[in-house]
Amino acid sequence: MCAVPAPRVRPRLRGVAEGRPRLQTRESFCHSTVLLMGQRSGRQERSKKPEMSLSENMKAEEEDDREENKELKTKDQRLPLVFGVADLKNGAVGLYNVGQTCCLNSLLQVFLMNIHFTRILRRITVPPYASLKRNNVPYQMLLLLEKMQSGKQKAVSPIDLAMCLSTHRVNMFIQHDAAQLFLTLWNLVKRQMKDQDLVTKLSDLYTICVQEHLACQICSSEMKRNSNMLTLPLPVLDSNSHMLKTLEDCLQCFFHPEELTGHNMCFCEYCDKKTPFLQSMKLVHLPQTLTIHLKRFCFERSTNVYKLSHCLPFPQELDFNAVLTEQQSQAHGSEKAAWRYEIFAVVAHSGSTNSGHYCAYIRSLTECKWYCFNDSTVCQVSWDDVKCTYGHSDLNWGQTAYLLIYMKKHPQ
């Protein structure tokens, strides 16, 4: 049966304001403090059954869990045999839009097409009870992976995972910001993994480490601290609000020292007052899977949010050693030697800040072919098609790259 295309909707885009374009100040880097998005919606229906005592209620829930566990037992036994969507054994599989879930669908495709992520996902501990399984994000992602791999459908429904996310305050029926939803999904997966070895592997797969330097311009005292990030948030405007022309320019701008003056001054313990500081960033560590967030959404002092759609090319291969100077890195030679990447996926946004749509362009790691995942519609594309996401100032509804996912190249 042919896949029914998702209805064309132009949902509200929420959570896209990211700072004034004039300054493009750096944001907080600690991923452990990421807030969950969305709110619970709808009313709870009152039960028509007579109220039970606490012990009776617990027994009833345990009985329900046992019944549901019987139904899931066979499926759970099959889970270790899942090879992963990235192998594309039955062709690329789409995801139906079940309520403005184009953002979620795009991110799920990026996660599940990453064989390094699915290797970790396939090793999770299956929750013991049905109620726990329903609310466990990594387990529901694993079920979706199995469903996409084992069937012959051109598209499947992510409704079970979407309902699971709604219990964690990630609502359906609203449009999410892809960068924020990526952080939310990753944190939920990490939080619900019981095996600490897998948690470590997940962190190693995605975590970026930078060293922040703050130098007082009066007494020359210096403070250093290491910060971990899941995405590298790159400005697309420089400090004078000029449009940056390439991804390499954005990287240089992010790691370029910034003067903190006026109300941006910091308190100096040695001067015992607020003083001008020089802030700089040094790159310490890059992971296997590198996620770059292009800060396309900005707001002015009037709080009007707008999208920066100008053309910003990004390369197929990216060598950080050729982009950053010696002063912009704080790493050993063996670490820096591995800072060579090739593009793996692009999450693109079309539309404006008020309405829009997400899709994902992903390169199969086994076939080395590019696919466009647009909800339930999946088609093979070329690199020239991917380059159409560079952006164009005159095409407000055109596709614009928002998240870039690079994969570390293996040494020859």
The answer, yes or no, to whether residue 122 has pLDDT greater than 70, is: yes
**Of 37-41, 178-182, 216-220, 408-412, which gets the smallest average pLDDT?**
37-41
- Cα dist from 360 to 41, 156, 165, 339, 375, whole Å: 28, 16, 20, 24, 9
- The residue with greater pLDDT, 118 or 153, is 118
Burial label, 15 (beta-carbon count in 10 A; 0-12, 13-18, 19+): middle
pTM summary value: 0.79
Query: What residue spans of 172-300 are helical by DSSP H?
Result: 178-192, 196-206, 247-255
All residues at 6 or more sequence positions from 146 whose CB lies less than 8 Å from its CB, including other chains:
75, 78, 79, 82
pLDDT band of residue 332 (cuts 50, 70, 90) is: confident
When mean pLDDT is compared across 61-65, 299-303, 405-409, the lowest value belongs to: 61-65
pLDDT of residue 43: 28
In the chain, what are the domain boundaries? Answer: 88-408
% of the chain with per-residue pLDDT over 70: 76
> Considering 31, 102, 298, 349, which one is annotated as catalytic?
102
Residue 116 annotated to the active site? no
Split at pLDDT 50, 70, 90, the class of 169 is very high
Mean pLDDT of 156-169: 96
Distance CA 161, CA 90 (A): 22
> Residue 374's closest CA among 351, 356, 357?
357
Count of alpha carbons within 13 angstroms of residue 2, beta-carbon side: 3
Task: Dig out the tokens for 127 from the structure.
Answer: 């929750």
* pLDDT of 170 strictly over 60: yes
pLDDT tens for each residue of 71-112: 545 455 444 444 445 555 557 899 999 989 999 999 999 999
What is the predicted pLDDT for the residue at 296?
A: 92
Tell me whether residue 253 is one of the annotated catalytic residues: no
Give CATH for domain 88-408: 3.90.70.10
Catalytic residue among 116, 168, 176, 357: 357
Cβ atoms of residues 258 and 278 within 8 Å: yes
Pull the structure tokens for residue 110: 């990026």
